[in-house]
Amino acid sequence: MSDYLILLLVSFLANAFSAFVGGGAGLLQLPLLIFLGLPFSVALATHKIATVALGVGATLRHLRQRNLDLRFSLVILASGIPGVITGANIILSIPDYMATLALGFLTVGLGIYSWSSKELGQVLQPKHRDTSGYLIGSFVIFFIGILNGSLTSGTGLFVTLWLIYWFGLDYKSAVAYTLVLVGLFWNGSGAVTLALQTEVRWDWLPVLLLASIAGGYVGAHLSIIKSNKVIKRAFEVVTILVGAKLILSAI
């Protein structure tokens, strides 16, 4: 019973923060599953399935706003999902020490870059919506998808910042796209791929799913009602924490 209560509380907080800033649920949730005794592969598959519920909770809240463009959403899905499946197919067969270390430094770099760019993501200014812009943007999203499928946490933060930097979204819009498309569809693809290859702790999933849906909804609500400036600061804190955690894990 104590394990279930810990799972419920930590998963709710992790997913609420993730839904607020656009990524990072694995910062708390995945290490907790390992701490409670699951092998890495089992913890990763269980975590991936649970994060789909984060996408469900966030989607329930964001759909009420009707602020997602269908064409733009399809670009993110079409370029990202193949990368996710590719990454999920290779993660269980290769050591991830160097990749995790590199991802850690890159994630810290995201936070520092955002912190130093004072006006980044404060105003919605669509750009690179021509053919070449979509091609370049899609290539990077495909690569992020590989990271999402193969590594444990923080890759949603990459999607959020890339949508802001390359496509000119503000933080509110970028977080909405990340939560719905990455949280629901990308993570769903990775979860299915991993579940077909390794064991899942099914008896823990009801608690994790409940906490993820609730946390996703609450975090999405906060991201809607708070300003871009507040979301930007929270994003920067989470990226630096996630990056530091990945570096320490690799070391």
Residue 152 has pLDDT above 60, yes or no: no
**Domain range summary for the chain, segments of one domain joined by +:** 2-250
**Whole-Å CA distances, 223 to 14, 67, 100, 142, 195:** 15, 13, 28, 25, 31
Instruction: Out of 118-127, 149-158, 235-244, pick the least confident.
Output: 149-158
> HSE of 53 in the Cβ direction (CA atoms, 13 Å)?
20
Which is more confident, 82 or 64?
Answer: 82
Q: What is the pLDDT of residue 65?
A: 64
Tens-place pLDDT, residues 202-221: 988 999 999 988 988 898 88
Residue 31 has pLDDT above 80, yes or no: no
Whole-model pTM?
0.80
